[in-house]
């Protein structure tokens, strides 16, 4: 695994006073920055381009089709940003919910492209607390033939415990995160954190 925390992307302010629209705007900006970095870990191939001056520029293009896989529902907030960067990206979904009593992930269902094993996969989940949901999603992808080395986990807020758990189980997965917070509290929530990302993004808090 190559973890690439981009802590300079993190903007600190009083999150308790952040309005709904401001939260979404900030979240989208963070997602753009994180995903721009995440795409650097996908394979590229040479692609010469003839310019209007008839000169040939040795450019590059993605070597494989990109599949964004969001962990429902917070991960869905990052889908439109991925498609801004890669309009041709296909999108899959995995529903995993955490048991609040045990903090263990519970798999419900997935909807993934049949040829996902031929794609470069960007796993989307803005929060990485225990790392359990991310690992359950990676296991689901591996069962469909996706090699962990072909997965980039794009994440906005993480903590040392979650990153270590994912790295131990799947050392070949690339991780790009916006910020590494202090750790987990007794309820296994990220601290200082920002609350429930999905509820704040979709105005259901």
Q: Which three-class secondary structure state does DSSP give residue 111? A: strand
Residues 6+ apart with CB under 8 A from 64: 42, 43, 118, 119, 120, 150
Instruction: Count other Cβ atoms within 10 Å, centred on residue 54.
Output: 6
Instruction: Count other Cβ atoms within 10 Å, centred on residue 194.
Output: 19
Backbone torsions φ then ψ of 65, nearest 5 degrees: -65, 145
- Residue 5 Cα to chain centre, angstroms: 12
Catalytically annotated residues? 98, 102, 196, 199
Residues 6+ apart with CB under 8 A from 12: none
CA 68 to each of CA 7, 123, 150, 157, 180: distance values in angstroms, whole numbers, following the listed order: 23, 6, 12, 18, 23
């Amino acid at each position: 695994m190559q973890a690439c925390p981009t802590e300079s992307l993190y903007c600190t302010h009083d999150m308790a006073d952040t309005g709904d629209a401001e939260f979404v705007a900030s979240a989208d900006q963070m997602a753009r920055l994180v995903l721009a970095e995440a795409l650097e870990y996908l394979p590229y191939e040479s692609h010469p381009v003839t310019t209007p001056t008839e000169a040939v520029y040795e450019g590059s293009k993605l070597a494989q089709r990109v599949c964004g896989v969001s962990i429902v529902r917070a991960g869905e907030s990052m889908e439109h940003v991925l498609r801004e960067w890669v309009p041709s990206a296909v999108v899959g979904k995995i529903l995993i919910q955490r048991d609040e009593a045990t903090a263990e992930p519970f798999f419900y269902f997935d909807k993934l492209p049949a040829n996902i094993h031929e794609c470069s996969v960007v796993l989307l989940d803005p929060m990485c607390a225990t790392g359990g949901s991310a690992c359950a999603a990676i296991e689901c992808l591996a069962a469909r033939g996706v090699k962990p080395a072909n997965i980039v986990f794009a994440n906005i807020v993480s903590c040392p415990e979650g990153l270590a758990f994912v790295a131990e189980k799947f050392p070949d997965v690339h991780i790009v995160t916006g910020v590494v917070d202090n750790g987990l509290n007794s309820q296994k929530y990220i601290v200082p954190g920002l609350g429930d990302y999905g509820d704040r993004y979709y105005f259901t808090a």
